[in-house]
């Protein structure tokens, strides 16, 4: 049995250990198949110790989702390379947590989590909107990529990520190829909205 003190630093360390162990189990077995008892056993602690930090399994899922969202960082400089990297990081996040987030209705089934998950998705959408707007102002995208058209394009990207993730192989090599293929399709969607300058920048990006 492992005993941890409950000082502030140790509590954060314990939470980190719990999240790491839970993420590993979720990826191996899927979120719905993992019990709180299994997570506690993986760590060598009691269920009571586990629930002291995370009263419910859904609290662990929420913490993992928030933790992952923090790794998808909005770039400071708006360039097509930055947009490419941001979209790619979103896809890689889905690959890295394929068994955790492979159920699109997961958070819909967790009481009280629908709004929190909707807020996380909204943050991603806002970041994309900011990037597209800045790139349009820099004349990388055409003026018509604005208003409802921009919202429709962003929604289409977000919806496509959910469907795409359902068919991604858990093989790392296959997943890398799937990400590249999805990036190609996303740029196929965006290319008609690029200006001449944007097309030139995209072509230069493709050569790298």
Residues 116-165 pLDDT 10s: 777 888 889 999 999 999 999 999 999 999 999 999 999 999 989 888 87
Binned at pLDDT 50, 70 and 90, residue 4 comes out as very low
Query: pTM (2 decimals)?
Result: 0.78
Specify the pLDDT at position 189.
Answer: 95
Q: How far apart are CA 119 and CA 131, in angstroms?
A: 18
Tell me the torsion sign for CA atoms 73, 79, 85, 88. positive
139: left (phi over 0), alpha (psi -120 to 50) or beta: left
H-assigned helices in 70-171: 80-96, 114-137, 147-165
Rg of the chain over Cα atoms, rounded to whole angstroms, equals: 20
CA gap 96, 90 in Å, rounded: 10
**Residues constituting the chain:** 208
Per-residue pLDDT band for 111 (boundaries 50, 70, 90) equals low
- List of domains in the chain: 8-63 (1.10.10.60), 71-207 (1.10.357)
The token pair that represents 102 in the structure block: 């492979």
């Amino acid at each position: 049995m492992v005993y941890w003190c409950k000082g502030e630093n140790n509590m954060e360390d314990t939470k980190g250990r719990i999240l790491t162990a839970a993420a590993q189990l979720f990826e191996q077995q899927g979120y719905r198949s993992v019990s709180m008892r299994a997570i506690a056993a993986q760590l060598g602690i009691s269920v009571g110790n586990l629930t002291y930090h995370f009263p419910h399994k859904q609290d662990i899922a929420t913490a993992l989702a928030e933790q992952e969202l923090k790794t998808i960082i909005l770039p400071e400089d708006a360039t097509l390379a930055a947009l490419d990297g941001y979209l790619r990081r979103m896809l890689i996040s889905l690959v890295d947590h394929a068994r955790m987030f492979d159920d699109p209705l997961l958070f819909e089934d967790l009481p009280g989590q629908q709004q929190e998950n909707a807020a996380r998705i909204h943050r991603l959408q806002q970041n994309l909107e900011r990037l597209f707007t800045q790139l349009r102002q820099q004349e990388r995208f055409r003026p018509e990529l604005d208003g409802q058209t921009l919202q429709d394009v962003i929604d289409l990207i977000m919806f496509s990520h959910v469907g795409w993730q359902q068919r991604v192989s858990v093989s790392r090599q296959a997943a890398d190829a799937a990400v590249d293929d999805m990036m190609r399709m996303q740029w196929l969607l965006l290319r008609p909205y690029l200006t001449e300058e944007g097309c030139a920048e995209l072509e230069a990006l493709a050569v790298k």
